[in-house]
Structure 1
Amino acid sequence: MSALLEVTGLQASYGSSQVLFGLDFSIQAGEVVTLLGRNGMGKSTTLRCLSGWMKPKAGQIRFCGEVVNGWPADRIARLGLAIVPEGRQVFPNLSVREHLQAFAANRCGAPQPWGVERVFDLFPRLRERAGNMGNQLSGGEQQMLAIGRALVTNPRLLILDEASEGLAPLIREEIWRCLKVLRESGQTILVVDKYVKRLIRLADRHHILERGQMVWAGDSAALDADHALWLRYLGV
């Protein structure tokens, strides 16, 4: 079976400074997979390449059977990739409901697609704030909205970049609950986050980056059994 996403030999640079050095990894439909590593090790650059915001220096990115190297971000998004960006990036002058209505699409042809009301069922707090503008929301509410905005596109692949970063503990738990629901629904997810203990319970497979190279890959059982990896590469 061909992978939903297959990355081979991915290299990327900022000017003369090379950041990624030949990454190889893949994601099958229905999997939850992580990219782990300390800050500055290449995770965000990898996501920029996958989503079309940065053109790779070399290598190949194949998504939904298409080689998408060099495609603009909007074309990759229409193929079924949605990203919840670090920093949320909600629009200050759109209401919660307008955010969800503006991005609604059924890119994967889901028989029961995500829409506004289904997102409100997942995040009841957003229903309570439906008329509030983006700049009137708390950080946690903005994060819920960023996830909901991605979900209403009904993506084939959902990418979350530090989705629990900077949130209060109760809100962080709400985000983890949401991700568990999405995993159980069969949503394919790529997660970048630092909470290894939670990711072990959530994800199928993990990849660790160190200075732009893939230094370890394995399943949750293997990662849980080797805490020396956590200390060496993740600072946990």
Structure 2
Amino acid sequence: MSAILRVENIETAYGESQVLFGVSFEIEAGKVATLLGRNGMGKTTTVRSILGLNRIKAGRIFFNGVQIDRLTADQVARMGVAIVPEGRQIFPNLSVKENLIAFAANRCASKQPWTLDRVYALFPRLQERAHNMGNQLSGGEQQMLAIGRALMTNPHLLILDEATEGLAPLVREEIWRCLAELRAMGQTTLIIDKYVQRLIELADQHTVIERGKLVWSGDSEALRQAPDIWHRYIGV
């Protein structure tokens, strides 16, 4: 199976401060991958580099076989990359329904595209709250809305930055259920989160970074058998 995303030895800096040092990984189509590490180790910068929000200094990034590391963020998005950002960043003065339809598109030309009805079926709570403003939602509802909004673009690749950060346990379970359903549907996904045990159950492959450098990569069984990696680099 071919890689939908290939990151090759990228280096990224903020001004004179270099953050990433030769990070490499790839994600196969239809697979779920993770990017793991403690806070401040370069995970979000890696995602921003993929999205075209931070220009890389060196290396290359390919998406569906096309080099994208010199494209703008809107060009990358139109190619079919969607982000559920840390902090959700939904539109507070738009209703749930308006948030969902604001950027609706069929970027991967799916024969079964994501529609309002499909998103509501995945997250019934959003249908119940369809006419509520974004700022009237709980944190968990906002995360459901952020995921639903990303799915409405019908992306080839869905990225979740801090997928369950700050959510109550019951809401986290709802998000894990949703992500498992998406995996069963064949949605290619990259997840940043700290709940390693749940990610081992959900994901196919894992990449661990420490201080902007790749320190470990492997599949779920290899990570399950390496608890020292959890403690040393992820803080679990």
User: Shorter chain as normaliser: what TM range?
Assistant: over 0.9
Q: Residue 3 of structure 1 corresponds to which residue in structure 2? A: 3
Contact 2:119 2:148 in 1 (8 A): yes
Q: Residue 161 of structure 2 corresponds to which residue in structure 1? A: 161
Q: Aligned-pair distance for 1:72?
A: 1.0
Q: Residue 135 of structure 1 corresponds to which residue in structure 2? A: 135
Residues 102-121 of structure 1 correspond to what in structure 2 (within 5 A)? Answer: 102-121=102-121
Residue 34 (str. 1) matches residue 34 (str. 2): yes
Contact 2:2 2:29 in 1 (8 A): no
Residues 58-97 of structure 1 correspond to what in structure 2 (within 5 A)? Answer: 58-97=58-97
Residues 31-65 of structure 1: per-residue CA shift (max 9 Å, x gap): 10000000111000000000111100111000111
Residues 160-179 of structure 1 correspond to what in structure 2 (within 5 A)? Answer: 160-179=160-179
Q: 1: CA distance between counterparts of 2:24 and 2:85?
A: 22
Q: 1: CA distance between counterparts of 2:220 and 2:105?
A: 33
Q: 1: CA distance between counterparts of 2:193 and 2:169?
A: 15
Q: 1: CA distance between counterparts of 2:133 and 2:147?
A: 16
Q: Residue 18 of structure 1 corresponds to which residue in structure 2? A: 18
Residues 92-115 of structure 1: per-residue CA shift (max 9 Å, x gap): 111000111111111001101001
Q: 1: CA distance between counterparts of 2:143 and 2:47?
A: 18
Residues 225-236 of structure 1 correspond to what in structure 2 (within 5 A)? Answer: 225-236=225-236
Q: Aligned-pair distance for 1:70?
A: 2.2
Partner-residue secondary structure (3-state), 2:3: coil
Q: Aligned-pair distance for 1:163?
A: 1.4
What CA RMSD, in Å, does the superposition of the two structures yield over aligned residues?
Answer: 0.7
Q: 1: CA distance between counterparts of 2:102 and 2:13?
A: 34
The letter of the residue matching 1:32 is: V
Q: 2: CA distance between counterparts of 1:114 and 1:224?
A: 34
Q: Residue 126 of structure 1 corresponds to which residue in structure 2? A: 126
Q: 1: CA distance between counterparts of 2:206 and 2:60?
A: 20
Residues 206-234 of structure 1: per-residue CA shift (max 9 Å, x gap): 01001111000000001001111111111
Q: Residue 207 of structure 1 corresponds to which residue in structure 2? A: 207
Aligned length: 236
Q: 2: CA distance between counterparts of 1:94 and 1:4?
A: 33
Q: 2: CA distance between counterparts of 1:74 and 1:115?
A: 22
State the identity %: 66
Gaps of 5+ in 1: none
Q: 2: CA distance between counterparts of 1:206 and 1:65?
A: 21
Q: 1: CA distance between counterparts of 2:213 and 2:22?
A: 7
Q: What TM-score does the superposition give when structure 2 sets the normalisation length?
A: 0.99
Q: Aligned-pair distance for 1:2?
A: 3.6
Q: Aligned-pair distance for 1:3?
A: 1.3
Q: 2: CA distance between counterparts of 1:11 and 1:233?
A: 20
Gaps of 5+ in 2: none
Q: What TM-score does the superposition give when structure 1 sets the normalisation length?
A: 0.99
